[in-house]
Amino acid sequence: MKKLLYILTLIFLCACGSTTQKSDKPTITVTLEPLRYFAEAIAGEHYDVVSMVPKGSSPESYDPTPQQLVALSRSEAYLRIGYIGFEQAWMKKLEANAPDMKVFDTSQGVDLIRGEGHWHGNHFHEGGVEPHIWNSTRNAIIIAENIYGALCELDATHQEDYKNRLDVLKETIRRTDENVRTFLENADSTFLIYHPALSYFARDYGLKQISIEEGGKEPSPAYLKHLIELCRQEKAHVIFVQQEFDQRNAQLIADELGIEVVTINPLSYDWDEEMIRVANALKH
């Protein structure tokens, strides 16, 4: 009996050890899950990649946990989107928390959409830059190249491997673009969306995005009435909603017009699948 208890104790201790075992690979931190998708595709087995904004949270208003701040101090680098609300509110604090961590901006070289700046929650969209740059196949190529450059600067030893992985990712992006274009051949040219996360997607494919938010805030009754009339004029048949935002106004418009509400996740790790899913929802 004692021997059996001894064996069971050893098994238990080994199991506990296996669940708490830490990776000995260096870590890179990114802001969002789509950026983790790109970074992991290029970094391969050479780095662990972690996101600051977890699944289901809004990058416009997320506050990192104390545990995340502690973990960040062990990151070799931070890959930022460029203009997303979380970064505007927290980037200086994150850099102060980890002074030895290198920071790379993956928006470098992106043809940014600019407009009038506006407040969203507790932060201002700097210079009116539309921050959702990753929802674009054209931008995805640039983001991937920026990540490749960052990895080569951090770890020149594996540059050839990073280049090979970059080429594979670029091919995935090109195939995604081809599939999206196929779906959009017979698609609505105008769509509504609660939070304007598909501005670059719309620009890439000649579509018109209408935001239900008014200046980053809940729409007024007058603006809702205007949207309903605009939808009729533009013959929009789809309203996209995201899980991070209130969907009641979108449903109100949909009920009034008898059009479809489609839930999307522009923050999904499965970037390529989500891009195709959005295009599929727009086809006739």
User: In sequence order, which residues have a C-beta less than 8 Å from that of residue 212 and are 6 or more positions away?
Assistant: 192, 193, 194, 195, 219, 224, 227, 239, 249, 250, 253
Tokens in use for 164? Answer: 């090979």
Burial class (CB in 10 A: 0-12, 13-18, 19+), 69: middle
The closest alpha carbon to 207, from 234, 225, 241, 233, belongs to 234
Q: What does the mean pLDDT of the chain come to?
A: 88
- pLDDT of 58 reads 86
pLDDT band at residue 16 under the 50/70/90 scheme: very low
Give the SS3 label for residue 281. Answer: helix
Domain 186-282 has CATH 3.40.50.1980: yes
pLDDT digits (tens, 9 = 90+) for 175-222: 999 999 999 998 889 999 999 999 999 999 999 999 998 777 888 999
The fourth-level CATH superfamily of domain 23-179 is: Nitrogenase molybdenum iron protein domain (3.40.50.1980)
- pLDDT of 22 reads 54
Report the range out of 26-40, 81-95, 232-246 with the highest average pLDDT. 26-40
DSSP string, 159-196: HHHHHHHHHHHHHHHHHHHHHHHHHGGGB-SEEEESS-
User: In sequence order, which residues have a C-beta less than 8 Å from that of residue 11 and are 6 or more positions away?
Assistant: none
Cα four-point dihedral sign 273, 278, 279, 284:
positive
**Domain edges within the chain:** 23-179, 186-282
Taking the C-alpha atoms of residue 265 and residue 62, their distance in angstroms, rounded to an integer, is 16
- pLDDT of 49 reads 98
- pLDDT of 116 reads 56
Amino acid at 23: S
